[in-house]
Structure 1
Amino acid sequence: MAQLFEVHPLNPHARLLAQAVELIQRGGIAAVPTDSSYALVCQLDDKAASDNLRRIRGVDGKHHLTLLCRDLSELANYARVDNKQFRLIKAATPGPYTFILEASKEVPRRLSHPSRKTIGLRVPDHKTLQALLELHGGPLLATTLIPRGETESISDPQDITGPLEHELAAIIDAGACHKEPTTVVDLTTMADGGEPVVIRQGRGELAALGL
């Protein structure tokens, strides 16, 4: 049964978040608020945890997982980013955007896309999640919280019920989030002089990216 941590969305209690971080660092899966919908997160370097994350979400190894980063410098540690890509990312960061980029050597091979060696990365604009990442001291592996067999993401932690809450170690309740998921943009095409490719139109406005 998941441990519930109720926090203020703009001024979360550090002690409660530290307890949630401890559960994550023990290999647990947590449901956390973001600037789009809620997400499932786990440690980056824990294979069992990442396998469990995929199982709970109901996706296979071809599904892009995302690294939630604290800032642009941290993002650049886990992806190969040229100047043109960096300027585009900077224009919309932090915010509800996921960027598909070529994974760096810092990303475990099992976490990148098996055929393309790419990874999704983003810097969220949510006070509670940023505080959690700071206490954790590094990025977290994440995926949108969509229950198995459903198509809609969860935006209200009160809806995390039934079998799902028994599979999680922690639920961080900072109130309801936006319903829309992130906007996903593939930037790998820019490496060969191409244009960014919009994979999913979500909450993030394309105008902020100049698209």
Structure 2
Amino acid sequence: MSVLINVSEFGWFTAAVERAAQFILEGKVIALPTDTVYGLAVAAQDTQAIKQLYKIKGRDQNKPLAICVNNVKSLCCWGKVDCLPSGLLDTLLPGPVTVVLERTSNLNSALNPGVSKIGIRIPDNEFVLNLCKRLGTPLALTSANASNEHSSLAPEEFQSLWPHLAAVFHSGRLGDSTSLRAGSTVVDLSAPGKYHILRPGSALANTKAILEHFSVVEQDAYCALKAQNLFCGHGNID
């Protein structure tokens, strides 16, 4: 049975971040809240922990994992941003958006092997941001549910996974909006001056408005489909 820790309890937040960091450094899998749904997380640079994450979730090995960092400066260590307009990432993030970029050589080669791109998140969630800051390394992140099941807005919705997790860090129900279950909006920004939406998610309209404000235009259908197949394999990030 995993440990349940309410990160929103008064006086417990800092200790909860430290405890989560220790679990991650030990190679354990934890659940945590994000700004959309609950997620499962491990250290992105820990190959054995990544394997365990796939096993617990029952996830297809061909489906890539996204990573999570705490600020745009950290993001630049793991994804190539040279082709992006200045200020774009600072406007999009933090928030319910996953940006897909060409990966850098800093990233664990065992994470999404054979995939040249990486999805990167900066969730607008204080607990996740503080945990990433404490670790100084990205988290590999996926939704807290068995593969092909609905994503979770409350800890009890993924209770079947609890026995396999080191801990469930939670802040109660994340909201009542069904749009949150759609997860983050996933957008491929790897082509200079262009974008393609890989998953509409919960922030589609705002994401498109920001991209168009920065004169980033939508890719044509053929190139977009090619980009989606290269990154998503047999399905989108969930």
Alignment of 1:119 onto 2:118: yes
The offset of 1:15, in angstroms, is: 1.1
Given the superposition, is the C-alpha separation of residues 153 and 10 from structure 1 closer, same or farther in structure 2, using an over 3 Å criterion?
farther
Q: Hey, what does 2:39 align to over in structure 1?
A: 39
Q: Hey, what does 2:171 align to over in structure 1?
A: 174
Rounded Cα–Cα distance in structure 1 between residues aligned with 2:183 and 2:151? 7
- Listed as ranges, the matches of 1:1-211 within 5 Å are 1-8=1-8, 13-84=13-84, 87-112=87-112, 114=114, 116-150=115-149, 152-162=150-160, 164-177=161-174, 178-190=180-192, 195-204=194-203, 205-206=206-207, 207-210=209-212
Question: Any conservation in 2 of the 1:185–1:196 contact (CA below 8 Å)?
Answer: yes
Instruction: Give the AA of the match of 1:161.
Output: Q
Question: Any conservation in 2 of the 1:186–1:197 contact (CA below 8 Å)?
Answer: yes
For structure 1, the residue ranges without an aligned partner over 5 or more in a row are none
TM-score, normalised relative to structure 1: 0.88
Question: Any conservation in 2 of the 1:10–1:128 contact (CA below 8 Å)?
Answer: no
Given the superposition, is the C-alpha separation of residues 171 and 108 from structure 1 closer, same or farther in structure 2, using an over 3 Å criterion?
same
The offset of 1:44, in angstroms, is: 1.7
Instruction: Give the AA of the match of 1:129.
Output: V
Aligned pairs, how many?
205
Rounded Cα–Cα distance in structure 2 between residues aligned with 1:94 and 1:101? 16
Report the secondary structure of 1:109's partner residue: coil
Instruction: Give the AA of the match of 1:188.
Output: S
Rounded Cα–Cα distance in structure 2 between residues aligned with 1:86 and 1:61? 35
Q: Deviations over 1:105-139 (max 9, x none)?
A: 1111221351x411110111111211222222322
Given the superposition, is the C-alpha separation of residues 51 and 100 from structure 1 closer, same or farther in structure 2, using an over 3 Å criterion?
same
The offset of 1:11, in angstroms, is: 7.7
The offset of 1:49, in angstroms, is: 0.6
Question: Any conservation in 2 of the 1:31–1:172 contact (CA below 8 Å)?
Answer: yes
Instruction: Give the AA of the match of 1:48.
Output: Q
Rounded Cα–Cα distance in structure 2 between residues aligned with 1:21 and 1:41? 11
The offset of 1:86, in angstroms, is: 5.3
Bigger drift between 69-78 and 116-125 goes to 116-125
Report the secondary structure of 1:208's partner residue: helix
Rounded Cα–Cα distance in structure 2 between residues aligned with 1:76 and 1:183? 19
Instruction: Give the AA of the match of 2:168.
Output: I
The offset of 1:149, in angstroms, is: 4.2
* Identity %, equivalent residues: 28
Q: Hey, what does 2:222 align to over in structure 1?
A: none
Given the superposition, is the C-alpha separation of residues 11 and 200 from structure 1 closer, same or farther in structure 2, using an over 3 Å criterion?
farther
The offset of 1:188, in angstroms, is: 1.5
The offset of 1:180, in angstroms, is: 3.1
Q: Which has the larger radius of gyration?
A: 2
- After TM superposition, which residue ranges in structure 1, 4 or more long, deviate above 3 angstroms? 9-12
Rounded Cα–Cα distance in structure 2 between residues aligned with 1:139 and 1:171? 19
Report the secondary structure of 1:121's partner residue: strand
Rounded Cα–Cα distance in structure 2 between residues aligned with 1:9 and 1:133? 20
